Each structure stands twice: as C-alpha cells, then as structure tokens.
Amino acid sequence: MEPDSSNTSQVTEETTFHVPSAPGPSTPLRDSYTYHSLTPTGEGPYILGVDEAGRGPVLGPLVYGVAYCPVSYREQLEELGFADSKTLTPDIRSNLLETLRSDPDNLGWSVRVISPQAISSGMLRRPATNLNRQSQDATVMLIKDVLDKGIRLSEVYVDALGTTSTYQAYLSSLFPGIEFTVESKADFKYKIVGAASVAAKVTRDACLEDWTFEESEYRSPDAELGSGYPSDPKTQYWLKTSLDPTFGFPKIARFSWTTVKLLLEKEGHEVQWIDEGQASLIKAFETAQGLDKDRCGLTRELGIRSIASL
C-alpha cells in the first residue's frame, strides 16, 4: 500500500517498498502525509523520541520522525546501534531502519512528511506559518497519533533548536502526565531519539532519490539534486540549470527560500500584474465624474465616493 498523500492521511500497513514510509518510484509527492508502522503490543508504559531531517535544504520535504518502545525495552534498545543519523552512512541507516522494523511487538515508529509546497505556502502566507510552527505542529500531531493508537507514554525526548525550556513547557501543557525532555543534540544523547532520526532521514533520502518530476521538461538530464542544501555545489548547479525563466522551478524546490528567490529575481522574467477589471472601474468612474459632479448611477450603486475607494 502506498502512503495516502492527503494532508491528514494515516497509513497503518507495511508496504512492499524498501522504504515503506516514502511515496516510492513513479508516485509524485504532491501533499504532506503521515505514515505509521504497525502498533507495538509490548506492555507499557512507553518512551518516545522525536527528531527531524531536512530542515535546512532548499529541495525536498521536511520529515519529522518518532520512534517508541516500552520502558522495559530500554536496555535492549541501547544495543541496537541507533545514533544521530547524520553520523551514519546511508547503508547503516538503511540497516537500522530494518532493525526498527524487525521487532514490531516492541518497536514502533511514524513519520510526518511535509511537502516543499506546504512549507513554502505556510511561510509565504499572511500571517505566516513559519518553519518553527510547522515543525511544532508536526511533532504534536505525531505524539497525538501515537496516543490515539492506545500507546501509554511516560517519557518523551525531543531534539530541538532554540529556546528548549519554552518548548518543553509548551509540550508539557498539551500532554499532562508525560515527562518531556527537550534538548539540542538529543539524537546523540538518547537512543530512542536516534531511532527517530534514522526513520526521518531514511524517509527523506528515499523521497529525494525516487522523486517523480511532474515538470520533467524543467530538469537538466545531467544534473544531480545533491543533498538539497544551498551550500552543496551539486544542488547549486541543479538549481541554475533547472530554472525556467517563465515558470520557475519544479515543485521539489522550496520557493520561500532566499536561494530560490534570488535566482528568480536574477534569471526569471519580470511579471507585471494588471487588474483589467479595476482599470475599467476607474475609467468608468472618471468618465462619470466628468458628466455628473455629484455621482452617476454606477458610482452611486457601487457606493463609491472617490477614486481611493477603488
């Protein structure tokens, strides 16, 4: 079963893909979605870790992951090799995802995949939903989903940036009865957060590797995406060679990122927006004013007293 790409979807069955939490080849990533593993049956209470992958890149989704296991399983978890996914090779990360899937009675995991379009739309709307808020919403959603599956959580560990004490207090207020620990480098300090880091990173990498371009005419056939980070030379080259001066970039790009904005300003065609309907009203008003010093029937019906009303 492929992940349902609807914005509130939840997938609860394993798939035949190597990375079940990714859309898979030939499936465009159009919308954000949530993937859940099978629900563990081990006796609780449970500990849960939260981490993300893809916060800084200009390409691809932001993925939040959670992993959870019974408190009584903690010692076994310490021996499984989970760590900050950034310190591991792709092969080791893939093997660790298989480890995460190998004991469904005790190990559970979920990811929230936030599409590039959703990231940009949130950041550019008024008022804006910035990346911190989107990250917070994804974390809260995943924790709620795990609780809704009947899992009793006693401890939650969150890898986070910024003012961790404020975020910890906020999460504690939402989920009373659960002990929250919000720290930077939590994926290095706590194995359950390392497991969440692996789930998020492997999912994001699979999304990029199997990305299906709906705008294939924009993509240079000899250009690699690279890591997606603005500092990556491969990503820089891909952006420069994939820009269409009229239509911009494919949907894999986060158009709210400064890197993309600057390229569009420099290389893109300038667009002048003309509201023909408004222009017609202005002309009608000016014509009417010349015929009637008070107000003509049209301006009276529209309630227009001055050109500023338009």
Task: Specify the amino acid at residue 88.
Answer: L
Task: Specify the amino acid at residue 100.
Answer: L
154 torsion bin: left (phi>0), alpha (psi -120 to 50), beta (else): alpha
- Token pair listed for 271: 């667009």
Helix, strand, coil tally for the chain in percent (to 5): 45, 15, 45
Contact between residue 155 and residue 71 where contact means Cβ atoms under 8 Å apart = yes
292: annotated binding-site residue? Answer: no
User: What is the distance between the alpha carbons of residues 131 and 137, in angstroms, rounded to a whole number?
Assistant: 10
51: annotated binding-site residue? Answer: yes
52: annotated binding-site residue? Answer: yes
Q: Is 65 helix (H, G, I), strand (E, B) or coil?
A: strand
Contact between residue 142 and residue 110 where contact means Cβ atoms under 8 Å apart = yes
User: What is the distance between the alpha carbons of residues 196 and 12, in angstroms, rounded to a whole number?
Assistant: 17
Contact between residue 73 and residue 84 where contact means Cβ atoms under 8 Å apart = no
User: What is the distance between the alpha carbons of residues 213 and 17, in angstroms, rounded to a whole number?
Assistant: 19
Query: Residues annotated in the binding site, as ranges?
Result: 51-52, 159
From the annotation, which residues make up the binding site for a divalent metal cation? 51-52, 159
